[in-house]
Structure 1
Amino acid sequence: MSTMDMVAILIAFVCYLTLMIVIGGIYMKRTSSTEDYFLGGRGLSGWVAALSAQASDMSGWLLMGLPGAVYAFGTGQAWIAVGLFLGTIFNWVVISGRLRKYTIRANNSMTLPEFFENRFHDKKRVLLLISSVVIAVFFLVYTASALASGGKLFNAVFGIDYHIALAIGAFVILAYTFMGGFMAVCVTDFIQGFLMLIGLMIVPLLAAGLVGTDNISGLLNQSGVTGGAASFLNVFQNDGKPLSFIEILSQLAWGLGYCGMPHILVRFMAVRDEKELKKSKVIAIVWVAISLGMAVVIGVVGRAYLYPLILGSEGAASAESVFMTMITKVFTENYALPFVGGLFLCGILAAIMSTADSQLLVTASAVSKDIYQGVVKPDAKEETVLVVSRITVAVVAVLAFLIAWDPNSSIMGLVSNAWAGLGSAFGPIVLLSLFWRRTNFEGAVAGIISGGLTVIVWDYIPLVGGQTLGAATGIYSLLVGFAISAALIFIVSLCTKAPSEEMLQEFDDVKNGNVA
């Protein structure tokens, strides 16, 4: 890549990052309360709610992790995409409307921990504290994955040292989240969602046209894919070997995580009205279907288009850089449009930023609104809570920066662990609190604790010959954690005191649509 090409791409990045910070500054002036900062005053339109929810959901995983996995091992990795697509549909169709109503009925709850507290009339604030701690722990890892993605992007495109690149990405994300809060995050996510979608649709199609669709299979064979092109393109094989039922089930289980993702669920809570929510459902599902499908296509086409370069081989960038490498080659070598290529590279940055900002904001709400104002100092003023929120955003960004310091850290691995922890801890209790009348406080506590602890034990503690249970069995921790959490909620709820008449009445009001 020539110096002029590099300058053109750099200008595109500067323009994009400046726009994000300007948006943060605009919404800082409009943020005067914690409801503004955390929920945008429940004023999201359908388009903004849909694209911000999905953009904040997918992260650098969509444009780096998933295409990289397909590039390296074949289309057998696409089962994760199938699971996420099914989970997205379930989340929007089944959970979104009910959760929005229940959070309004439950004393206008602004965060997921606050909803649990109000839903189960937890006057001792046990649920508030436990769920806030779970969010803080797992979102640290999740945010680190986003920052690591940013570091790898700047490193691959500009040749900047990974650690310097990591610092640049962290600073920009921190700046607009710190200033503008929820609306700044949602508006930037809306822009980023469009940018991601355009990049996902155009780049692989241009690359496929340059290669010639008839030549893809032959180039895959030449690139040395394990088992040949037929195996690489077979969704029931992975790295040349047949996928087992457990492996497919574990990949599909990613979809369960949606039920417990605070940064996605909070968008449902913030939608303006039912009409806008219905619009959001359609937009979000279409966006996800196109985005996940094209991310898989990038992995396949990239393997053929980039040959004889083999990513992941000695001296080459990792397979997770396949999309950015394709963009750079298409728009600097095949088409003399480096500035356009820079804008598409910003689409990768958009995916990274749209998730990191949401995670920072949810963690800030858990610490400042739920722990500080909810437990430590209940009489804290709105202005003080806002200050604590912004300090929390800064502290979490720094800690995530330190976790992401290792340039060899896997984006896919970090996302997998955080997704499993949040999905197992919160997914079952969100579902059952919305749809099972008998769910009580004791069951909720048992479910959140057991789900989170199961993932930690399964993924981090070597119990079988020096291996973790996850490595030894091949079963994704989310599948196990979700099942154990759901079972304990049922058992403990049935074995303890039934919910009060007031709680049952609130449940019936939501079920019957009697929500003010």
Structure 2
Amino acid sequence: MDHFNPTVITFVFYIIVMICIGLYAYRATTDFSDYILGGRSLGSFVTALSAGASDMSGWLLMGLPGAIFLTGLSEAWIAVGLIIGAWLNWLLVAGRLRVHTEVQNNALTLPDYFTSRFADRRKILRIMSALVILIFFAIYCASGMVAGARLFESIFGLTYGTALWISALATISYVCIGGFLAISWTDTFQAGLMIFALLLAPFMTWLAIGDTHQLTQLIETARPHASSIFSGVSGLAILSSMAWGLGYFGQPHILVRFMAADSVRSIPAARKIGMSWMILCLGGAVAVGYIGIAWFQLHPELAATVQQNPETVFMELTKILFNPWVAGVVLAAILSAVMSTLSCQLLVCSSTLTEDLYKAFFRKNASQHELVWVGRLMVLAIAVLAIVLAFNPESKVLGLVAYAWAGFGAAFGPLIILSLLWKRMTLNGALAGMIVGAVTVILWKNTLAHVGLYEIVPGFVLSFISIIVVSLMGKAPEQDIIDRFEQSEQVYAREMKNL
């Protein structure tokens, strides 16, 4: 392949721009709070788009279009569930979490928040939540590595192993350099690029076919039931797809965006921006896979790659239909989706290792300068582990994401919701819910997956029940814990009243 064609030049230029943003953010990073939470300075626009971009990883442009291409619109139930879950997360969790984490000793991480919220003097909750984050983020980061490797493999004609290392280095570089500010600023740019690509690609594919009636006939010929959202799916399958929405309440890389907002007053505007962006992006991803069925039915001689791996449908349509210069920009959207999510996940893992383990147990008096550099080293360590997990070239992006998404949703989702809404919740209840949620996901995935029910459903339900039962069985929380909770609620109510 000619490595100096317009597509490659545009693609490489995009990577250079991202690294330059990281270098600029490096100058604005003065302490560890800046490095992992941006000094709680994000406005509505950046909060919304960075939350969206960190949420929508490579699965948005690869996994979801691939699932739609392979099966049809029945796979779109995932998108419906995600939209409902994201809206509820913005409505119920975002503002309260912003206030509670600040009142709770200015907590910078979720384990830090849990420790302060429940006065965990033994730090058991901190350790367990840190372990959950590290285990499931290692899997989640691996999914990003796989998606990035597939992209570099496709564009540069590299072997999977070489593509894996190069794509990983592109992300690691600006995370290590610029930290949270670099991630947030690049996410805002990347969110714009993603929505541009996801709206343009299906429109251009539709134009290439040229006739809506012909498009419908081609899809009917290729996948007779692809146009029905109910075709070929059971009630259990719909429930499992919709249940993806439950995962939002427990995703650390999304929740940290709420914590970093400059104030509660930014949240309502951010919700409107973020949800509009999300609906358009998910609609575009579904349209790419759906219209792609018709296009490759019309051009079967070009369908070999997508038949072998449906997750490449977006990439193949882009390379075939677009001018090489435009194709470079559109394909960079896949990398932006991968980089935005992967970068935030790496930073959350790094902050957990640094703030919740290194500082909490080994170096309580570590300087801010030391913590920043330890954080950078931890980014490298987690990245290497994710690369090792991603080294299987048969890995599927959507499958890896589904496992990690369920793990976080079940372990942290009920814990986050009840910790923000129920003052009677206890430390033992929190610990029980986290463990039950995580263990249920792992056991269900490895022993009962054949049932067909997405593991987040039993994990979330059992976690929720465990928290309530164990909390009610034990003594009520100490008065100072209740006082801090009520103080947080008063601050939240006052801020919302002043909107």
Q: Indicate whether the TM-score tops 0.5.
A: yes
- Residue in 2 that maps onto 1:407: 393
Closer, same or farther: CA 424–310 of 1 in aligned 2, 3 Å? farther
Q: Take 2:156 and 2:16, find their aligned partners in 1: how far apart are those partners?
A: 18
Q: Take 2:191 and 2:301, find their aligned partners in 1: how far apart are those partners?
A: 30
Q: Is the 8 A contact 2:142 2:389 kept in 1?
A: yes
Q: Deviations along 1:272-291, whole A, 9 cap, x unmatched?
A: 12332221111001011111
- Residue in 1 that maps onto 2:283: 293
Pair 1:390-2:376 in alignment: yes
Which of 399, 402, 410 is residue 416 of structure 1 equivalent to?
402
- Residue in 1 that maps onto 2:217: 218
Pair 1:198-2:180 in alignment: no
- Residue in 2 that maps onto 1:443: 429
Q: Deviations along 1:18-63, whole A, 9 cap, x unmatched?
A: 0111111111122121110011000001111111101110100100
Q: Is the 8 A contact 2:220 2:226 kept in 1?
A: no
Residue 316 of structure 1, CA deviation: 5.0
Residue 314 of structure 1, CA deviation: 8.1
Alignment of 1:268-279 (within 5 A): 268-279=258-269
Aligned partner of residue 58 in structure 2, secondary structure:
helix
Structure 2: runs of 5+ lacking an equivalent: none
- Residue in 1 that maps onto 2:228: 234
- Residue in 1 that maps onto 2:461: 483
Closer, same or farther: CA 412–315 of 1 in aligned 2, 3 Å? closer
Q: Take 2:373 and 2:457, find their aligned partners in 1: how far apart are those partners?
A: 38
Aligned partner of residue 491 in structure 2, secondary structure:
coil
- Residue in 2 that maps onto 1:320: 311
Aligned partner of residue 409 in structure 1, secondary structure:
coil
Identity of counterpart residues, as a percentage? 41
Which of 480, 492, 496 is residue 474 of structure 2 equivalent to?
496
Amino acid at match of 1:140: A
Amino acid at match of 1:244: S
Q: Is the 8 A contact 1:450 1:481 kept in 2?
A: yes
Q: Take 2:58 and 2:356, find their aligned partners in 1: how far apart are those partners?
A: 28
Amino acid at match of 1:65: G
Which of 47, 58, 62 is residue 60 of structure 1 equivalent to?
58
Q: Take 1:177 and 1:315, find their aligned partners in 2: how far apart are those partners?
A: 32
Q: Is the 8 A contact 2:306 2:316 kept in 1?
A: no
Pair 1:513-2:487 in alignment: no
Q: Take 2:440 and 2:220, find their aligned partners in 1: how far apart are those partners?
A: 42
Residue 7 of structure 1, CA deviation: 1.0
Residue 158 of structure 1, CA deviation: 2.6
- Residue in 2 that maps onto 1:176: 174
Q: Is the 8 A contact 2:99 2:264 kept in 1?
A: no
Which of 6, 9, 15 is residue 8 of structure 1 equivalent to?
6
Q: Take 1:312 and 1:39, find their aligned partners in 2: how far apart are those partners?
A: 45
- Residue in 2 that maps onto 1:104: 102
Residue 178 of structure 1, CA deviation: 0.5
Q: Is the 8 A contact 1:437 1:507 kept in 2?
A: yes
Residue 375 of structure 1, CA deviation: 2.3
Q: Is the 8 A contact 1:311 1:322 kept in 2?
A: no
Pair 1:115-2:113 in alignment: yes
Q: Deviations along 1:327-372, whole A, 9 cap, x unmatched?
A: 11111xxxxx211111010011100110000000000011011111
Q: Take 1:277 and 1:183, find their aligned partners in 2: how far apart are those partners?
A: 18
Pair 1:351-2:341 in alignment: no
Which of 242, 256, 260 is residue 252 of structure 1 equivalent to?
242
Amino acid at match of 1:443: G
Q: Is the 8 A contact 2:55 2:254 kept in 1?
A: yes
Q: Take 1:421 and 1:310, find their aligned partners in 2: how far apart are those partners?
A: 41
Structure 1: runs of 5+ lacking an equivalent: 332-336, 461-467
Q: Take 2:106 and 2:61, find their aligned partners in 1: how far apart are those partners?
A: 36
Amino acid at match of 2:43: S
Which of 41, 44, 47 is residue 45 of structure 2 equivalent to?
47
Q: Deviations along 1:110-136, whole A, 9 cap, x unmatched?
A: 111100001001111111111011101
Q: Is the 8 A contact 2:65 2:288 kept in 1?
A: yes
Which of 65, 72, 75 is residue 73 of structure 2 equivalent to?
75
Closer, same or farther: CA 423–487 of 1 in aligned 2, 3 Å? same
Q: Take 2:307 and 2:363, find their aligned partners in 1: how far apart are those partners?
A: 53
Aligned partner of residue 106 in structure 2, secondary structure:
coil
- Residue in 2 that maps onto 1:148: 146
Q: Deviations along 1:219-249, whole A, 9 cap, x unmatched?
A: 2244x32xx1xx1110012xxx2x1111111
Amino acid at match of 2:147: S
Aligned partner of residue 262 in structure 2, secondary structure:
coil
Closer, same or farther: CA 396–310 of 1 in aligned 2, 3 Å? farther
